[in-house]
Amino acid sequence: METNSQEKESTNENYWTNQTEQKNKRQNEMKTNMKAKKSTTTVKTRHIQHLLAAVLIALASALAVRAEEKKVTIPAGTSLMVKLDKAVSSSDKPGTKFSGVLQGDLGTNGAVKTGSAVIGEVTEAKKAKRVRGKAEVTFALTQVNVNGALVTITTEPIEDIAASSTKKTAKGAAKGAAIGAIADGGDGAKKGAAIGAGASAVKKGESAGAAAGEVVEFKLATPLTVTVK
């Protein structure tokens, strides 16, 4: 009987020992899991914090850039004094491009700087005929360089009309008549007029346009809005 009692006690001790060990094991596992979760959460939190910091920095930079940039509107009617790089002539075909350099600042605080390149285009052109008619050319600016980028502009077209060949014929006829009158009276005057008219008829009329290096005044037909820094 005493032996059985001892065996029971030993069994009970083992049982409780095992229970205690299992309990401690579960507690240790729970602590380990909690530490792992806490570590993961900390990493995620730090990652989110870093992302937020990066977003805030980017936003601040963007706001700073926007603060430095502003839009300036140059009203219609503003003059643009441009020195042409090449001649514009009635001999040019419509669509022919030309370029020049701005000779003065445009807009508040020089939104478009002196020396900025401009580009233009011939829209209409007509040569003078030999006997009568006038040479004509129409041209306007289409683009201006602002901070390294070409911006579209619209200027009032410039229409240049040369002196007509008809007027030249009249001058030639008068000169011929005067010479003829001195040489041979009335009949000579008639012959001289005919000679003068014939000489003028073989000469073309003057061309229209502007020479290379000439400063031409253009005017904005519509407002020009540019972004400046």
Interatomic CA distance for residues 215 and 211, integer angstroms? 9
- Average pLDDT of the chain is 74
User: Is 158 found in the same domain as 47?
Assistant: no
Does pLDDT of 136 surpass 80?
yes
> pLDDT grade, residue 223 (50/70/90)?
very high
84, 216 Cβ separation under 8 angstroms: yes
- pLDDT, tens digit, 9 for 90 and up, residues 138-159: 999 999 999 889 999 999 999 9
Residue 99 sits in the same domain as residue 152: yes
Same domain, 63 and 79: no
pLDDT at residue 217 greater than cutoff 70: yes
The closest alpha carbon to 113, from 70, 155, 147, belongs to 147
* Per-residue pLDDT, 79: 94
The count of residues in the chain is: 229
pLDDT at 4 over 50: yes
183 close to 196: Cβ distance less than 8 angstroms: no
Which range marks the domain in which residue 23 is found? 1-68
Reduced to 3 states (helix: H, G, I; strand: E, B; else coil), residue 112 is strand
- The CATH number given to whatever domain includes residue 212 is 2.40.128.260
Among residues 23, 42, 68, the one where a domain terminates is 68
pLDDT of residue 164: 52
Q: What is the pLDDT of residue 95?
A: 94
pLDDT of residue 27: 77
Mean pLDDT of 110-117: 92
pLDDT at 48: 83
Q: Are residues 52 and 137 in the same domain?
A: no
Burial class (CB in 10 A: 0-12, 13-18, 19+), 68: exposed
Angle at 71 between CA 65 and CA 76, to 5 degrees: 165
**What is the structure's pLDDT at 176?**
37
Count of domains observed in the chain: 2
pLDDT in tens, 33-74: 777 676 677 767 777 887 777 777 777 565 554 545 788 999
Same domain for 210 and 133: yes
Q: What is the DSSP string of 58-91?
A: HHHHHHHHHHH-EEEEEPTT-EEEEEESS-EETT
Over the Cα atoms of the chain, what is R_g? 46
114 in helix, strand or coil? coil
Q: Which residues pair with 71 in a beta bridge?
A: 227
Q: Give the position of tokens 């701005």.
A: 102
Mean pLDDT of 113-137: 84
pLDDT at residue 172 is higher than 70:
no
- pLDDT recorded at residue 51: 78
pLDDT above 70 for 195 = no
Q: Kindly state whether residue 122 falls inside one of the protein's structural domains.
A: yes
pLDDT of amino acid 84: 95
Whole-structure pTM value: 0.53
118 and 216 inside one domain: yes
d(CA 59, CA 48) in angstroms, rounded, equals 16
